[in-house]
Amino acid sequence: MLGNTGETMCLPHLGRAAATYSLGGNARGSEQRGCCLREFGGAQFSAFKASLVDLAVAKLGPIGGEMKRLVADSAYIDSVLADGSERARVIAAETMKSVKDIVGFVRR
């Protein structure tokens, strides 16, 4: 059973699971552990575990869908990489110009 007091849960992995659940539910600060204990305090771990799994699926599911979409669209990935490469090249060119001036390289 999950503890129904404000103290830290007796097993470290339960504390981490409670923190994960609380963060996924957008709780902040000291209310993180408290909201989890208010909701599941005194209940069987299986009830908490089912809610934790549901929350994980709800939060991580869209990420998996986006990853599948991106992997299927190689032209988009190529365009993002090309754009990033060009922006990096512009920044690097300015930096290298300054470096060459400091070091004293002769330019042609």
- Is the pTM value of this prediction over 0.75? no
**Domain of residue 31, residue span:** 1-61
- How many Cα atoms sit within 13 Å of 52 on the Cβ side? 16
83 and 50 within one domain: no
- CA distances from residue 52 to 5, 18, 28 in whole angstroms, order as listed: 20, 9, 17
57 and 37 within one domain: yes
Domain count along the chain: 2
Instruction: Report if residue 35 sits inside a domain.
Output: yes
Q: For 12-57, what is each residue's pLDDT tens digit? A: 556 667 767 666 665 555 565 566 667 777 777 788 888 888 888 8
